[in-house]
């Protein structure tokens, strides 16, 4: 967006235009503009559709997502100064950005949300990701929700696999192709033979919870401090 949040103090000209801008351009082309995506409708009762991206550079997508979190974490802009991925990941992402790393500690599940409720940018919100299949993944891992207008990305920032990853072979009667189409939400190198799979649905579970948490974190903090000095405690703005 033309009036997007921007921090002039965290990058030199070479890093901004030589490293970040190509990643941003690629992220915009794939994630926002859906370059290379085919929509596969599912039965109405499923309440979702699939988007399959073919020929996608998954490393670039991992790098783009990592760069967004790095910028939010190191920036001192008031809107994002409370967001921190920690010094370990800040250093690791910076090193990978400078030296062409693989970003193998980043994975994500991509959602396209069609309800007008989701038409806003929401600052990254930390979230522990629970396993969907406890026989495959036994532990919760460190994650975030990254919300762009009508796009939500559930990101894992962890050496362990994303517990919401899916691997599918979409049948010919679903895709209209001669053979099954391999598709996965996973961005990791071990899913390289799978096309990137995204989910399209009307709304995402717990979306209002993320909005409320963002409001409480960024708008209630000054009020809480003022009331604390006065001997009172603020209530959440929404129930």
Q: How would residue 4 be classed by pLDDT, with cut points 50, 70 and 90? A: low
Residues 52 and 127 in one domain: yes
Distance CA 197, CA 184 (A): 5
Spatial distance between the Cα atoms of 153 and 65, rounded to a whole number of angstroms: 9
**Same domain flag for 191 and 221:** no
Q: Are residues 27 and 81 in the same domain?
A: yes
Q: Could you tell me the two tokens for 100?
A: 């062409």
Q: Is residue 17 part of a domain?
A: yes
pLDDT at residue 235 greater than cutoff 60:
no
Quickly state the pLDDT bin for 211 (edges 50, 70, 90): low
Looking at per-residue pLDDT, the higher value among 1 and 172 belongs to 172
**Contact predicate 51/198, CB 8 Å:** yes
Note whether 220 and 153 are same-domain residues: no
SS3 67: helix
Q: What is the mean pLDDT of the chain?
A: 85
% of the chain beyond a pLDDT of 90: 62
> Domain check: are 149 and 227 in the same one?
no
Output the pLDDT for position 117: 80
Per the domain annotation, does 193 fall within a domain?
Answer: yes
Instruction: Give yes or no: residues 127 and 46 share one domain.
Output: yes
**Token reading at 24:** 């941003």
Average pLDDT rounded to a whole number, residues 167-191: 93
As for how many domains the chain has, the answer is: 2
- 6 lies in some domain: no
41 assigned to some structural domain: yes
Q: Is residue 122 part of a domain?
A: yes
Confidence (pLDDT) at 6: 74
Residues 138 and 212 placed together within one structural domain of the fold: no
Based on the fold, state whether residues 198 and 226 are members of the same structural domain: no
| Mean pLDDT value across residues 72-79 | 90
Q: Which domain holds residue 211?
A: 206-239
Residue 91 within a domain: yes
* % of the chain surpassing 70 pLDDT: 83
**What's the confidence (pLDDT) of residue 119?**
84
145 and 236 both lie in a single domain? no
pLDDT at 8: 75
What lies within 8 Å, CB to CB, of 53 at 6+ separation is: 30, 34, 35, 36, 37, 195, 196, 197, 198
């Amino acid at each position: 967006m033309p009036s997007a949040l921007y921090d002039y103090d965290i990058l030199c000209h070479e890093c901004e235009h030589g490293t970040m801008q190509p990643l941003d351009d690629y992220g915009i082309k794939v994630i926002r503009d859906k370059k290379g995506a085919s929509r596969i409708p599912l039965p109405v009762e499923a309440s979702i559709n699939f988007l399959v991206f073919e020929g996608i550079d998954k490393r670039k997508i991992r790098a783009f997502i990592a760069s967004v979190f790095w910028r939010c974490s190191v920036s001192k802009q008031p809107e994002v100064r409370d967001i921190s991925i920690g010094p370990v990941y800040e250093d690791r992402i910076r090193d990978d950005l400078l030296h062409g790393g693989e970003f193998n500690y980043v994975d994500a599940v991509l959602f396209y949300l069609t309800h007008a409720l989701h038409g806003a940018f929401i600052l990254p919100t930390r979230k522990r990701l629970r396993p969907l299949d406890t026989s495959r993944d036994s532990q919760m891992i460190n994650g975030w929700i990254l919300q762009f207008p009508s796009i939500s990305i559930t990101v894992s920032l962890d050496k362990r696999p994303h517990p919401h990853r899916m691997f599918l072979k979409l049948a010919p009667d679903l895709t209209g192709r001669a053979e099954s189409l391999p598709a996965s939400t996973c961005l990791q190198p071990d899913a390289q033979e799978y096309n990137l799979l995204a989910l399209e649905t009307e709304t995402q579970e717990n979306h209002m919870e993320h909005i409320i948490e963002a409001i409480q974190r960024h708008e209630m903090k000054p009020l809480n401090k003022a009331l604390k000095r006065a001997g009172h405690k603020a209530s959440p703005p929404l129930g």
